Structure 1
Amino acid sequence: MKLIVMSDNHGDKETVKAVSSLPADAHFHCGDSEFPYDDETLSSMFRVGGNCDIDSKYPGEVVTEIKGKMILAVHGHEHNVKSSLMELYYRAKEKAADIVLFGHSHLYGAEMKDGILFVNPGSTLLPRGGNSATYAVVEWDETPVVTFKNMDHEVVETVEIKKI
């Protein structure tokens, strides 16, 4: 299974077009696009609303199954992800999620907790922490591998979750 995940483009359509055109089983936008929900730029993506998205058509979360994996996508502002992943962890448990996708902090990262993969793709426009602007490629066959790429589609970092 291959997912392309992005977040926090804050009005920049070119990055959304470039990232959403990449081949994958599914594309996700984790909020703060600042586009209307029905904008054709987002039409091929699962999408949620962020704190900067004013269109009320955006759902607060998306739960879907892709190739046998249950995926929960949120922005993260309603789960206090800048402080802790605990609220998001509990929501993932409620939804029986295998993968949780979220944004909001503009910091990329991936970690596994109790068999649940948490992925923040970072921001495609306004990265924080001295990082490059990034999106994430999540691949899960035998083991999950998350690759963070910059806007030139070059690998910034790869995280492979290994069984202990």
Structure 2
Amino acid sequence: MRVLVVSDSHGDGKSLHSVVDQAQADHVIHCGDFCTRRDQLPKCSLTVVRGNCDWEDVPEEDWWDVNEHRFFVTHGHRYQVRSSLLPVQYRSEEIEATIACFGHTHFPVCEQVGNVLLINPGSLVDPRGFPRPSYAVVEMGAERKLSVTFYTPEGETIPERGGVFRP
């Protein structure tokens, strides 16, 4: 199973659609601040949440179960992710999620804390504190193994982010 994780596309539908086509994922997670009408989002298997800049009627947070994993999806602004990742970690543990996907900071993060893998794909169009726009792809392997790879919108690998995890 291949899952594309994007966030903070801020109205750039062209880049979003391009990355969705390029990644050829089985499922897409958008962590909010898509800043378009919902009907302009890609037509695919999609979990989407509302960011602090969105106006569409989509959930503030959601979760998605696949294989032996539960993905918790939020934008992050309601969990103060600029200050600490603990609130997202605690909420993930509360709902028994093994993977937490969030955005808001425009900075890519991938780290395992306890039994929760925290993933912020960065911003698809406007990075902050990181030199390139980015997104993440999660590939699920045998024995709950997860491989996370970060890419630029042009499809170049960002080797300093990602890794192999077993939450």
Normalized against structure 2, the TM-score is what? 0.90
Shift in Å, 1:162 = 5.3
1:2-48: CA deviation from partner (whole Å, max 9, x where unpaired)? 210100011101111012223222111000010123x2424422100
- 8 A Cα contact 2:47 2:64, kept in partner: no
Structure 2: 5+ residue runs without aligned partners? none
**Separation in 2 of the partners of 1:99 and 1:17?**
24
CA distance change for structure 1 residues 145 and 104 in 2, over 3 Å: closer, same or farther? same
SS where residue 17 of structure 2 aligns? Answer: helix
**Separation in 2 of the partners of 1:126 and 1:40?**
20
- 8 A Cα contact 2:112 2:165, kept in partner: no
Shift in Å, 1:140 = 2.6
Aligned to 1:48: 49
Aligned partner of 1:16: which letter? L
**Separation in 2 of the partners of 1:148 and 1:113?**
19
- 8 A Cα contact 1:6 1:121, kept in partner: yes
Aligned to 2:20: 20
Shift in Å, 1:128 = 0.8
**Separation in 1 of the partners of 2:118 and 2:135?**
14
SS where residue 156 of structure 1 aligns? Answer: coil
SS where residue 90 of structure 2 aligns? Answer: helix
**Separation in 2 of the partners of 1:162 and 1:23?**
22
- 8 A Cα contact 1:25 1:66, kept in partner: no
1:51-66 superposed matches below 5 A: 51-55=52-56, 57-66=57-66
Aligned partner of 1:131: which letter? P
- Equivalent pairs counted in the alignment come to 161
1:67-111: CA deviation from partner (whole Å, max 9, x where unpaired)? 221111100000000100111111101110011100000000100
**Separation in 1 of the partners of 2:72 and 2:130?**
28
**Separation in 2 of the partners of 1:127 and 1:99?**
22
Aligned to 1:93: 93
- 8 A Cα contact 2:3 2:26, kept in partner: yes
1:136-160: CA deviation from partner (whole Å, max 9, x where unpaired)? 0112314322111001111012422
Structure 1: 5+ residue runs without aligned partners? none
SS where residue 150 of structure 2 aligns? Answer: strand
CA distance change for structure 1 residues 61 and 147 in 2, over 3 Å: closer, same or farther? same
- 8 A Cα contact 2:32 2:74, kept in partner: yes
Aligned partner of 2:149: which letter? T
SS where residue 72 of structure 2 aligns? Answer: strand
- 8 A Cα contact 1:112 1:161, kept in partner: no
Normalized against structure 1, the TM-score is what? 0.92
